[in-house]
Structure 1
């Protein structure tokens, strides 16, 4: 029987995200008809996003701003699914990206909360721009998260993906572009500390509950930042695996031996950087630079050393020549973990087993 998971015109965010998650979980089945079938699904999800945009405009005209906001979030979710399906060399790629970024801009006008493009000031008289979304509970101190985009994404693209996840959580979010950090004259960790300085001065932010989330390759930046700035209260990062992998590869290259490093030394080196992090850590294995096998070994090392490190493995489906991550379940898991770790007076204990999300 042919699987038919896809977008439905129910209009509520929960249903749209369930449809998206079910579709991505069954992507191998969806693509069984090859490139033509994939193009059809790109068109279906793009059309669904366009329909939600039209619905949002209608709700705004009728003064129904809450329902308009939900329709925009549905549109952003649908466009993100389409973006995951489009090959970078495909002519449609630019069109879908434009829809995501335009969706974010149009969403701002419908948003009852205040979302700003803010400048992060630095000590050397320079600065860079970031997207700032204050928490939707202005009457109390709320946690905040600094989100760093992958090197192949703009800050607006990451914001478009995360808005449906963070709205309603009572959490402030500062989205920073990896490219902006890389182009800045000072160190990236120092620039991220400036981001934390900015959040600490916001009247709705609890300065003791600020976390960091590095998406994709930026997971390594989040590790360095959490290790260098002890104000970070929770970190979604690579746990130092990128630096460890490079070190081992360099030693093996220098010695021309595949097993040049003693296993006890390997264990110590593997957890060396994460030992400097004084906050809870979540490593998303299989995403970007973090291999599953190395992440499992790191978790075992951290458990032995009583380091609060948890590991999750996202669900992926195989499409022609690539794997596509179920971003819906992954993002829900990541921000659910951040909710837990940044909760006021949190007494939660680290997990002792791997999770698949």
Structure 2
């Protein structure tokens, strides 16, 4: 299915039908990504699939209007971060931007079909970035084993502030996946973000509480406190009612910490409205509309 969509995209491009080419490249990316789940990491076929998927992504962003670009962001020696930067449509000056980062295993190509249109429809640029690099340099398993993954977030911000098409006062970040606490830790260490959508340390709080019950002597006290209290920008936490963490427990943690943060919001999607599964997988459209509306409101208030 991935190959068929890729071939259909290339044929449409040859005939000058760019909208059809773009939509088929986007579908091919999704199918190629799905196919890798069944392939072992050492399988040579998997690397071929990933290279073909990246080629589709590169062609897709190169033929957007305005065109996107593949960017390299310095991070570790021998392992730069790679991202896709999609400029805001019809932007006449410096535009707001949303950074999308996920758990270490998430690939930036996901955000081309999961998030890009929500940013573009709201006049925002988007930077999709992952920890996987460009496929060269340091091995990924060595990278994700590092205890300081949150440092990557600051490097992404450093890069954005060098661009003359970005409003450095209107940069938001979306940490995809409710366990993406490295993004929350990165935001807590960098007060330049104007808004953040992530777990805000809820998962960290859950793990700490679990360990305190099991190992009371070694985990006495509340070391580090709530991570969210160190995040100074507006913060949105979203959860699904049917997710891994029970909603009652999430609400309890949220209410306990709300007084310590100037602008923190919690949205739990209920089963009756969908988007209630873990990661909002049952209706990501509904969740993304809510999330990007919230981001747009916060970035608009910052510009005022």
When normalised by structure 2's length, the TM-score is: 0.73
Question: CA 1:253–1:238 in 2, change beyond 3 Å: closer, same or farther?
Answer: same
| Equivalent residue number for residue 278 of structure 1 | 232
Could you tell me how far apart the structure 2 residues matched to 1:221 and 1:290 are?
18
Mapping for residues 55-94 of structure 1, pairs under 5 Å? 60-61=13-14, 63=16, 65=18, 69=22, 75=27, 83=34, 88-89=37-38
State the match for 1:325 in structure 2. Answer: 282
SS of match in other structure, 1:135: coil
Q: Do residues 334 (structure 1) and 291 (structure 2) align?
A: yes
Residues 217 and 345 of structure 1: is their aligned pair in 2 closer, same or farther, counting only changes over 3 Å?
closer
Distance in 1, matches of 2:260 and 2:159, equals 34
- Give the length in aligned residue pairs: 283
Mapped to 2, the partners of 1:162 and 1:254 lie a distance apart of 40
Report the secondary structure of 1:176's partner residue: strand
Distance 1:136 1:228 in 2: 31
| SS of corresponding position for 1:342 | helix
Tell me, in whole angstroms, the C-alpha distance in 2 between the residues paired with 1:143 and 1:271: 32
The 1-side partners of 2:129 and 2:229 are apart by 26
How far apart, in 1, do the equivalents of 2:286 and 2:246 lie?
19
What is residue 191 of structure 2 aligned with on the other side?
Answer: 230
Alpha-carbon displacement from aligned partner over 1:88-117 (angstroms, at most 9, x marks no partner):
4499xx799888655423313421223222
Q: 2:130 maps to what in 1?
A: 177
Other-structure match for 1:190: 151
Partner of 2:248: 293
Superposed CA deviations along residues 59-103 of structure 1, whole A, max 9, x for unmatched, are: 645655467556766x479859x95xx894499xx7998886554
Of 141, 150, 153 in structure 1, the residue corresponding to residue 106 of structure 2 is 153
Distance, in Å, in 1 between the alignment partners of 2:247 and 2:292 is 20
- Structure number with the higher helix fraction is 1
The alignment's C-alpha RMSD in Å is: 4.2
Which has the higher Rg, Structure 1 or Structure 2?
Answer: 1
For structure 1, which runs of at least 5 residues remain unmatched after alignment?
1-45, 348-357
Change (3 A) 1:118 1:109: closer
SS in 2 for 1:167: helix
Cα 1:301–1:77, aligned 2, differ >3 Å: closer, same or farther? farther
Name the CA shift for 1:208/1:123 in 2 (closer, same or farther; >3 Å): farther
The 1:152–1:202 alpha-carbon spacing in structure 2 relative to 1, beyond 3 Å, is: same
- Cα distance change on mapping 1:239 and 1:246 into 2, 3 Å: same
Correspondent of 1:167 among 113, 116, 120: 120
Which residue of structure 2 lines up, in the alignment, with residue 241 of structure 1?
202
